Chain A
Amino acid sequence: MKLASGKGDVDRCPYLDDQARDILGSSTRPPIRLVKVGVGERSFPIGEEMVQFRHEKTFYHPPGMMVAVSDLWTRDRIQEVVARVRDTVVVRVGTDQRLSGVAIRHLSGDPAAFRTAVEAVEEVADLPEVLMAEDPAVMEQGLAVCGHFRPLIYAATEKTDETMCNLARDYGCPLVVKADDPGRLPDLVERCKGRGVQNLVLDPAAPSLHQFQNISTAIRQQAITRSTPSLGYPVFLDAAATGMQEAAIVTGILRFASVLVLENPDQASLLAFLTLRQNIYTDPQKPIQMTPGIYRLGTPGPDSPVLLTVNFSLTFFTLQGYLEAARIPCFMVIVDTEGLSVLTAVASGKLNETLVAESLKKFSLEKEVSHRSLIIPGYAAPLSGRIEEASGWKVLVGPRDAAEIGEYLEKEWKQ
Chain B
Amino acid sequence: MGLQTLSSWTGQIGTVVLGATRSEGGSRSISYSIGGERDLPFLGSPPSGHRPLVAYEICDDLSIWPPVIREFLKDRIREPGAWAREAGDQWKPDLIRLFLTSTRKRDFRDFAAIRRTVEEVLQQSPLPLIIEGSTDQAIDSEVFAACGEAGEGERLLLGTAEAGRYRSIAAAALAYGHAVIAQSPIDINLAKQLNILLRETGVPENRIVIDPYTGALGYGFEYSYSVMERIRTSALKGDADLAMPIISGASDTLTVREVREADPGISQRVAVTWEFYTALSSALAGASIVCVRHPQTIPLLLDAIDALWGGAQELQGVRGSHLPHVRHETCQWQRRRGPLPLSG
Q: Which chain A residue has the least Cβ–Cβ distance from B284?
A: A254
Question: Of A183, A238, A272, which contacts B277 at CB under 8 A?
Answer: A272
The answer to whether B218 touches A182 (Cβ under 8 A) is no
A134, A213, A219: residue with the most chain B Cβ atoms closer than 10 Å: A213
Q: Which chain A residue has the least Cβ–Cβ distance from B220?
A: A314
- A273 CB within 8 Å of chain B: yes
Q: Give every chain B residue within 8 A of A219 (Cβ-Cβ).
A: 3
- B40 CB within 8 Å of chain A: yes
Question: Of A134, A183, A250, which contacts B280 at CB under 8 A?
Answer: A250
A72, A209, A263, A269: residue with the most chain B Cβ atoms closer than 10 Å: A209
A184, A268, A271, A282: residue with the most chain B Cβ atoms closer than 10 Å: A268
Interface size on B, residues (CB 8 A): 67
A114 to chain B, nearest CB (A): 12
The answer to whether A53 touches B229 (Cβ under 8 A) is yes
Q: Which chain B residue has the least Cβ–Cβ distance from A93?
A: B218
- B5 CB within 8 Å of chain A: yes
Q: Interface 1/0s, chain B 260-293, versus A by CB < 8 A?
A: 1011001001101110110011001100000000
Q: Give every chain B residue within 8 A of A272 (Cβ-Cβ).
A: 217, 270, 273-274, 276-277
The answer to whether A280 touches B273 (Cβ under 8 A) is no
Interface residues of B in 1-27 (CB under 8 A from A): 1-7
**Given the contacts A53-B229, A217-B5, A279-B221, A251 and B308 also touching, CB distance less than 8 Å:** yes
A376 to chain B, nearest CB (A): 21
Q: Give every chain A residue within 8 A of B285 (Cβ-Cβ).
A: 254
**Given the contacts A213-B42, A241-B333, A268 and B273 also touching, CB distance less than 8 Å:** yes
- A210 CB within 8 Å of chain B: yes
- A92 CB within 8 Å of chain B: yes
The answer to whether B342 touches A55 (Cβ under 8 A) is no
The answer to whether A268 touches B333 (Cβ under 8 A) is no
Question: Of B225, B230, B333, which contacts A243 at CB under 8 A?
Answer: B333
- B309 CB within 8 Å of chain A: yes
Q: Give every chain A residue within 8 A of B255 (Cβ-Cβ).
A: 321
Q: Interface 1/0s, chain A 81-113, versus B by CB < 8 A?
A: 000000000001100000000000111000000
Q: Give every chain A residue within 8 A of B340 (Cβ-Cβ).
A: 68, 105, 107, 238, 240-241
Which of B110-118, B299-307, B316-324 participates in binding chain A? B299-307
The answer to whether A271 touches B2 (Cβ under 8 A) is no
**Given the contacts A244-B329, A263-B342, A318 and B219 also touching, CB distance less than 8 Å:** yes
The answer to whether A183 touches B2 (Cβ under 8 A) is yes
Q: Interface 1/0s, chain B 223-241, versus A by CB < 8 A?
A: 1011001100100000000
- B332 CB within 8 Å of chain A: yes
Question: Of B3, B6, B257, which contacts A215 at CB under 8 A?
Answer: B3
Question: Within the assembled complex, what's the spacing in Å between the Cα atoms of A218 and B304?
Answer: 21
- A208 CB within 8 Å of chain B: yes
Q: Give every chain B residue within 8 A of A217 (Cβ-Cβ).
A: 5, 40, 43
Q: Which chain A residue has the least Cβ–Cβ distance from B7?
A: A221
Question: Within the assembled complex, what's the spacing in Å between the Cα atoms of A238 and B338?
Answer: 10
The answer to whether B284 touches A181 (Cβ under 8 A) is no
- A163 CB within 8 Å of chain B: no
Question: Of B45, B218, B304, which contacts A275 at CB under 8 A?
Answer: B218
Question: Within the assembled complex, what's the spacing in Å between the Cα atoms of A169 and B288?
Answer: 47
The answer to whether B307 touches A208 (Cβ under 8 A) is yes
Question: Of B229, B270, B274, B339, which contacts A106 at CB under 8 A?
Answer: B339
The answer to whether B266 touches A284 (Cβ under 8 A) is no
Q: Give every chain A residue within 8 A of B42 (Cβ-Cβ).
A: 210, 213-214
Q: Which chain A residue has the least Cβ–Cβ distance from B257?
A: A321
The answer to whether B1 touches A211 (Cβ under 8 A) is yes
**Given the contacts A247-B307, A268-B266, A241 and B337 also touching, CB distance less than 8 Å:** yes
A223 to chain B, nearest CB (A): 10
**Given the contacts A182-B1, A218-B3, A247-B307, A275 and B258 also touching, CB distance less than 8 Å:** yes
The answer to whether A317 touches B273 (Cβ under 8 A) is no
Q: Which chain A residue has the least Cβ–Cβ distance from B305?
A: A247
Interface size class on chain A is 35 or more
A309 to chain B, nearest CB (A): 15
- B341 CB within 8 Å of chain A: yes
Question: Within the assembled complex, what's the spacing in Å between the Cα atoms of A247 and B329?
Answer: 12
Q: Give every chain B residue within 8 A of A275 (Cβ-Cβ).
A: 217-218, 258, 277
Q: Which chain B residue has the least Cβ–Cβ distance from A263?
A: B342
Question: Within the assembled complex, what's the spacing in Å between the Cα atoms of A225 and B4?
Answer: 13
Q: Give every chain A residue within 8 A of B274 (Cβ-Cβ).
A: 268, 271-272
The answer to whether A271 touches B258 (Cβ under 8 A) is yes
Q: Which chain B residue has the least Cβ–Cβ distance from A281?
A: B222
- A227 CB within 8 Å of chain B: yes
- A122 CB within 8 Å of chain B: no
B48 to chain A, nearest CB (A): 12
- A34 CB within 8 Å of chain B: no
A406 to chain B, nearest CB (A): 14
Question: Of A69, A70, A267, A279, which contacts B217 at CB under 8 A?
Answer: A279
The answer to whether A255 touches B284 (Cβ under 8 A) is yes
- B204 CB within 8 Å of chain A: no
- B44 CB within 8 Å of chain A: yes
Q: Give every chain B residue within 8 A of A352 (Cβ-Cβ).
A: none
Q: Give every chain A residue within 8 A of B90 (Cβ-Cβ).
A: none
**Given the contacts A219-B3, A268-B269, A279-B221, A244 and B337 also touching, CB distance less than 8 Å:** no
**Given the contacts A215-B1, A244-B303, A207 and B337 also touching, CB distance less than 8 Å:** yes
The answer to whether A53 touches B226 (Cβ under 8 A) is yes
Question: Of A107, A181, A227, A267, which contacts B1 at CB under 8 A?
Answer: A181
Q: Give every chain B residue within 8 A of A210 (Cβ-Cβ).
A: 42, 45, 47, 307-312, 330
Q: Give every chain B residue within 8 A of A17 (Cβ-Cβ).
A: none
Question: Within the assembled complex, what's the spacing in Å between the Cα atoms of A107 and B343?
Answer: 12
Taking A107-B341, A284-B222 as given, write out 12 further A-B residue pairs in contact, using a Cβ cutoff of 8 Å, ordered by the A residue number. A53-B229, A72-B342, A214-B44, A241-B336, A241-B340, A243-B336, A247-B300, A247-B304, A250-B280, A250-B304, A275-B258, A279-B217
The 18 listed contacts between A and B (C-beta, < 8 Å) are A68-B340, A72-B342, A184-B2, A208-B334, A210-B307, A214-B43, A218-B4, A218-B5, A238-B340, A246-B276, A251-B308, A266-B266, A267-B270, A268-B272, A272-B274, A272-B276, A279-B217, A314-B215
